[in-house]
Structure 1
Amino acid sequence: MTDVAARLPLILTELRLPTIKRLWGALAAQSNKEGWPAERFLAAVMEHELAERETRRLERHRLESQLLPGKLLSSFDFTTVPTVSKAHVTALVESDGWIEQGANLLLFGPPGVGKSHLVCAIGNGLIDRGYRVHFTRTSDLVQRLQVARREMRLPAEIAKLDRFDLLILDDLSYVRRDQAETSVLFELIAARYERKSLAITANQPFSGWDQVFPEVAMTLAAVDRLVHHSTIFELNVESYRRRVAKSGQAPASEKSTTKKD
């Protein structure tokens, strides 16, 4: 091994180029054997490094998103929800205009119709396109923001969420105004208005949201901000679990622990 070859692993480690460090020997041997010009060899090792960096980045963003596992567009049965157009959903994933404008997604329907599946599928598609997404149950996030308010760091906690292009709040209807300081949810909505996108799933229409926020005026203000720039999906169909029960099949919950709603 030449001195240069011996030094290369150390140099590549220092430069944080793990893929080139792993592959350069085989590519160099192929280059020498086939007589590649220097620029071809350099381009080859750099392309491998870039490809693996992109793969690692997607893996990190998928992990931090906390999206429900296995919820992809390819596994969503659009035939059971005729009110939702597959073409429309695909366009949302492939077009970045609404994300850049801070527009919102609102998904309504009873439990078990696939709201969470659909919104997670959209989230996964956006991650593939380079966006950062985070999924959380609304009640969990409200508790987190309540703690931040008590500790006098609510603005900082809301600002942390700005790193996500799309913040998914699942099951908003389960938040109740008798919980202390549910107004933190309104502060989050107001802070992201026209800047960063929200996606919200809810079992109840807007008329039932007065049970979420502590004041009617706050409810109206929250709905106004959410609807101003939004796409709304109504999934008012029969529950997946009810359909399975009628068919006499074993429910999916016995076959898988993933969430259908």
Structure 2
Amino acid sequence: MDLKEMCKTLRLAHVSDIYSDIPCEDPTQFLKTLFQKELQLREGAKAERLVKKARFLQKKSLSSFQWSEQIHFPSHIDSKELCTLNFIARKENLILTGAPGTGKTHLATGIGYEACKQGLEVRFYRVSDLADVLERAWSEGKLSQLRNRFKSVDLIILDEMGYVPFNKEGAELLFQLISDWYEQKSLIITSNLEFSQWNRVFSDSRLTAALVDRVIHHAHILNFTGDSFRVTNALSRHK
């Protein structure tokens, strides 16, 4: 059995490709370095798989996010603590509110990418798209299967809550799903509406109140103010 066959038998996915690049003076140190690289490459491959499953609409990183004084934090958390992602382990929510173009989706996506790098299961949805998926699953009798897909998910990002109003069925199905996740998953929700305006999206005031109650419990609420980055950049190009 040659080296490649042995690596395949031992399920060492990368060793046969990298061992010749590692200098060998001390056999123990050689193996330690070799296996460290194997683990790093496995973690990288796992992160890539998790990013693909998350279905982000854009590639955005936390390192490229521009923190500013226009992002208002609650007193109990700051950007450094937020970037540890400890809130996910505690199954807490993150609510990002403010005008369009102020960086909410960038931050939500950046946190999602970082969570994937840490080996966590993430799903990204525009809220209107998720409502459509729920209605289709319900009409096809596949709602239970859809809900079961989230059992192993750690973080769910719901982008653009409030941009498109729901019909009665879509609102009720989304409420059921968020109720499933209550204290079981961590959510990140971006919205251009204040909570008092969510009844524009969910026409039933009682359902809206119950939904907001679940979402803001155990939540960190960040408010984004200022002008749209997209508008500012467009205007600067025409000066």
- TM-score, normalised relative to structure 2: 0.87
Preserved contact between residue 168 and residue 203 of structure 2 (Cα < 8 Å): no
Return the match for 1:13 from 8, 32, 46. 8
CA distance in 1, matches of 2:79, 2:118: 15
Verify: 1:249 aligned to 2:229, yes or no: no
How has the CA–CA distance of structure 1 residues 74 and 46 changed in structure 2, closer, same or farther, with 3 Å as cutoff? closer
Whole-Å Cα distance in 2 between the matches of residues 26 and 89 of structure 1? 39
Determine whether 1:23 maps to 2:18. yes
More helix by share: 1
Question: 1:178 — aligned with what?
Answer: 167
Which SS does the other structure have where 2:96 is aligned? Answer: strand
Gap regions ≥5 residues in structure 1: 1-5, 252-261
The answer on 1:113 being equivalent to 2:102 is yes
Counterparts of 1:216 and 1:82 in 2: how far apart (Å)?
29
Answer yes or no: is the 8 Å Cα contact 1:146–1:182 preserved in 2.
Answer: no
- Asked if 2 retains the 8 angstrom alpha-carbon contact of 1:183 and 1:214, the reply is no
Secondary structure of the equivalent of 1:134?
strand
Deviations 1:5-59 (A, max 9, x none): x5332222233323112234565xx54xx3x34x444433322221211111112
Structure 1 residue corresponding to 2:176, chosen from 187, 198, 201: 187
Unaligned 5+ segments in structure 2 are none
Q: Provide the secondary structure at the position in 2 that maps to 1:155.
A: helix
Secondary structure of the 2:166 match is coil
1:53 to 42, 52, 57: 42
CA-CA distance at 1:145 after TM superposition: 1.2
Task: Tell me the SS of whatever aligns to 2:14.
Answer: helix
Contact preservation (8 Å) 2:134, 2:143: yes
Match for residue 128 of structure 1 among 117, 121, 133: 117
Mark the CA change 1:157 to 1:250 in structure 2 (over 3 Å): closer, same or farther: farther
Q: CA deviation at 1:84?
A: 4.7
Shift of residue 157 of structure 1?
0.8
Q: In the alignment, residue 14 of structure 1 is paired with which amino acid? A: T
Which one-letter code corresponds to 2:43 in the other structure?
E
Distance 2:231 2:13 in 1: 51
1:249 alignment partner AA: R
Report if aligned partners of 1:101, 1:195 keep a CA contact under 8 Å in 2: no
For the residue of structure 2 that corresponds to 1:184, the secondary structure is helix
CA-CA distance at 1:95 after TM superposition: 4.5
Q: Which has the larger radius of gyration?
A: 1
Alpha-carbon contact 2:85-2:111 (below 8 Å) kept: no
Q: Which residue of the partner structure matches residue 3 of structure 1?
A: none
Question: Structure 1 counterpart of 2:226, which letter?
Answer: V
Equivalents in 2 of 1:216, 1:207: separation in Å?
10
Give the corresponding residue for 1:204.
Answer: 193
Alignment-mate amino acid for residue 114 of structure 1: G
Check whether the contact 2:71–2:222 (CA below 8 A) recurs between aligned residues. Answer: no
Instruction: Establish whether residue 90 from structure 1 lines up as the match of residue 80 from structure 2.
Output: yes
Q: Alignment RMSD, CA only?
A: 2.5
Letter in 2 for 1:135: F
